[in-house]
Amino acid sequence: MDYKFSHRPSYTHLTVSLQQGESIIAEPGAMVGHSTSVTVETETSRDGLLSSAKSMLGGESLFTNTFVAREGSGQVTLAPPTPGDMMAHELRNETLYSTDGAFVAGTDGIDIDSEVGGLKSMLSGAGITPLALKGSGTVFIDAYGGLEKLELAAGESYVLDNEHLIAWDDTIEYSTRRVGDLKSTLLSGEGIVFEFTGPGTAWYQTRDMDSLVEIIAPRLPNQDSGNGIELG
């Protein structure tokens, strides 16, 4: 399997080239197109793991699409729902945790493990429903806006806002906390943060969808009044 990105970093588009018999699993809605030699199978489980994990998590869909090159080699093109960048991360019998909505696709050998149940409970106050991407293969993660990699040395710490965090590896340590008291949270516009301590790596996006919604929502038409969008 080969892959390439185009239109980076603002409107990233992923093209995956599959040899006969190879497959890739992707979130519904991520598909742009595929070769006629590639078939699409919609399923609710993958080796019994995906269904149990997805049913527990609110951010990702319960269903996934598996693209299989059954009739020869072919291509699959994928794109995330929001403008921004994407990354490919190679796993070699490792685990990568991703936040809800950041997972786009994964190759053969990648499982979404339901062990994140306890992790979800621990992070529920942070508004995050994580996916544990396990195994050996390639996973594709998307970001709203730019995508930054944060590499921390042993003992080095850094704080990230939960709305910007998209992924972290299984070697890094972290804790979550609220920024100050309720008053300071309301005034600062910040809420839950992650404090990561190395060694390890985390990835974050440079834009926050919730902040965009807060800007746009007051300008949307009021269904009761029938007024148009307010631009000023």
Encode pLDDT of 204-222 as tens digits.
Answer: 999 987 777 777 788 888 7
Q: How confident is the model at residue 49 (pLDDT cuts 50, 70, 90)?
A: very low
Please tell me the predicted confidence (pLDDT) of residue 209: 78
- Mean pLDDT of the region 30-57: 68
Please tell me the predicted confidence (pLDDT) of residue 46: 45
pTM (predicted TM-score):
0.81
Distance, in Å, from the CA atom of 10 to the CA atom of 159, rounded to the nearest integer, reads: 25
CA dihedral 23, 26, 32, 36 (to 10 degrees): 30
Q: Which sequence spans correspond to the domains of the chain?
A: 2-217
Q: How confident is the model at residue 101 (pLDDT cuts 50, 70, 90)?
A: confident
Q: What is the CATH architecture assignment of 2-217?
A: 4-Layer Sandwich (3.60)
Distance, in Å, from the CA atom of 65 to the CA atom of 95, rounded to the nearest integer, reads: 22
Q: How confident is the model at residue 223 (pLDDT cuts 50, 70, 90)?
A: low
DSSP assignment of 43-71:
ES-STTTHHHHHHH-SSS-S-EEEEEE-S
Please tell me the predicted confidence (pLDDT) of residue 212: 74
